Amino acid sequence: MSSSTDSTTTTIDTILTKDNEKGKEEKKSFIDNKKDSTNTKESKFNELIQWLQKWGYKVIDRSKDNKNADILFRAEIAPLVSYSSGSDTPLFLEFQNGFDDGLIIRTTYELDKYIELHLRNQNRAREIELTYIEIEQVILPMRVSIIRAPSIINIYKVIFSEQLTKQFFYDCITDLINAMSLIIGKWDQKYYEIRPKTTKEEPDNKQFKQNQV
C-alpha cells in the first residue's frame, strides 16, 4: 500500500515538475519574442529616421519624452516647407505596442480660432459641417484616415511592414503633408467665401433713400 502511494506521489510530482518547466519555457519564449519584436521595431524606426534625414527633413526622436505606454518609439518630423497658413505643424512617426505589423504616421490640424469665431458669429453651422464633409471627400481617396473632434482634425496613415519600401514610405509622408495643405486651404477658402452678414437696418436705409429720390 505504501509503495503504491509513493509511486502515485512520485508520478504527480513528475507531472507538476514538467508542467512547471513547460510554463517557464512558454514564459521565456514570450519574453524572447517580445524582445525580438521590440528590437525589430527599433531597428526599423532608426532606419526610417535616416531616410527622412537624407530627404532633408528635420527629425527629433521623442521616444524618451513619450509618456504613453502604448507607444514604443516616436519621432517628430518638421515639414520641409511651412504650410500656407505659416504654421509648421509637425508629423509624428510611431511604433506602437500591440501592433507588430507596421507603424503609424499622423498629424493634427486645429482650426484657426479666428476663422472658427468668424464662421460661428455668422451663424454658419451648416457651412462648417459641409466643409468637414468636403474635406473628407478630398482626403479619404488619398487613403488618409480622419478622426474629427471639432475644432481639431486628426489625420493619419497606417503603414504595414510588408508594404514598407523607401518609395512607398516617401509617398505616404507626402500624402499626409498634402492632406494637411488641402485642409488648411479648404478652411481659408471658406473664410474668404463667407462675407459678414449685413444688419437689418442697411436694407431699410437703402429703401428709404430710393423713396426720397
| Residue 187 DSSP label | H
- Is pLDDT above 90 for 3? no
Domain assignments of the chain as residue spans, ordered by start: 1-39, 47-193
In this predicted model, which residue has the larger pLDDT, 201 or 153?
153
CATH class entry, domain 47-193: alpha beta
Over the chain, what is the mean pLDDT?
80
Q: Give the per-residue pLDDT at 111.
A: 75
Identify whether the C-beta of residue 182 lies closer than 8 Å to the C-beta of residue 135: yes
pTM of the model: 0.72
H or E element, residue 36: helix 2-54
| Range of lowest pLDDT (104-118, 140-154, 156-170) | 104-118
pLDDT for 121 equals 67
